Amino acid sequence: MSLDVQLALLLWGTLVGLDLVSVPQMMIARPLVAATVAGLILGDVETGLRLGVLFELFQLDILPVGAVRYPEYGPASVAAVSAGHLLVGPISLGVGAVVGLFVGMVGGMAIHAMRRRTARAIQRSAPALEAGDTEALIRVHVGGIVRDGARAALVTASGLALAWAARIVLPGALTPRGAGVLAAAATGAGIAAGTAGALRLVGYGPNLRWFAVGLTGGAIAAWFR
């Protein structure tokens, strides 16, 4: 993989990481979008779509309300596609999932650490903020965005490094059977996470009927496809 492509992935992962919370929340951080564009950059849209759908299922398990802490699957999806692209068959999903899940966890921890640093920066500027100092207000706010951008870049860079290592080690260490087990486990976990997340959103009220209608429709469409 050329340096240009790596830099493009790093830039894309950074934008994706910024989009999750800071700027502009237009959902390029959704795994389906992040992974598909990463696939486009790598010239392997199919792997991007497959890993995007897989991590979209994991994303369904997350409801980002209040101060809840959650994994970050945007840059993780970029790293996952970097790990799984051009690998043939289920191993592509398996290797991508290993990298993506780990980077998702690291990304979530990095967000928590960054928020604590931002809180400290605000504490330091509290007297100026209480006095209505606009410069301090803008400085603190822009500082938070820059901090998040640096965090997203670091997470993406770590993810791409891990993806590079995983592409070297895992395909050689696993037989086709082992690759199948890995892909089945990752996909099974994704389906379980997506279903549990959907059920939590749906609840036991009247929406459950609509969920059942959707499931039936999806199953019929899948059957005829």
Among 1, 8, 49, 157, binds other proteins (CB under 8 A): 49
Interaction between residue 59 and other proteins (CB under 8 A):
yes
The tokens for 105 are: 């966890």
Least distance in Å: CB of 2 to other proteins? 22
Among 10, 12, 44, 50, binds other proteins (CB under 8 A): 50
Least distance in Å: CB of 77 to other proteins? 12
Interaction between residue 43 and other proteins (CB under 8 A):
no
Among 8, 145, 150, 157, binds other proteins (CB under 8 A): 145
Q: Tally the residues of the chain.
A: 225
* Residues of this chain, 168-187, that bind other proteins according to CB under 8 A: 173-175, 177-187
CA distances to 23, 38, 79, 129, 166 from 182, rounded to whole Å, are 35, 22, 18, 52, 13
What lies within 8 Å, CB to CB, of 191 at 6+ separation is 57
Among 9, 10, 33, 110, binds other proteins (CB under 8 A): 33
Among 79, 80, 101, 152, binds other proteins (CB under 8 A): 101
* Residues of this chain, 5-24, that bind other proteins according to CB under 8 A: 21-24
Neighbours of 86 (CB within 10 A): 11
Considering the complex, state which of residue 3 and residue 223 has its C-beta at the smaller distance from other proteins: 223
Interaction between residue 213 and other proteins (CB under 8 A):
yes
Among 3, 65, 172, 204, binds other proteins (CB under 8 A): 65
Neighbours of 144 (CB within 10 A): 19
Neighbours of 71 (CB within 10 A): 21
Total interface residues for other proteins by CB under 8 A: 110
Q: Which stretch binds other proteins (CB under 8 A): 3-11, 66-74, 79-87, 156-164?
A: 66-74
- Compute the distance between CA of residue 90 and CA of residue 33 in angstroms, rounded to an integer: 21
Considering the complex, state which of residue 9 and residue 71 has its C-beta at the smaller distance from other proteins: 71
Interaction between residue 68 and other proteins (CB under 8 A):
no
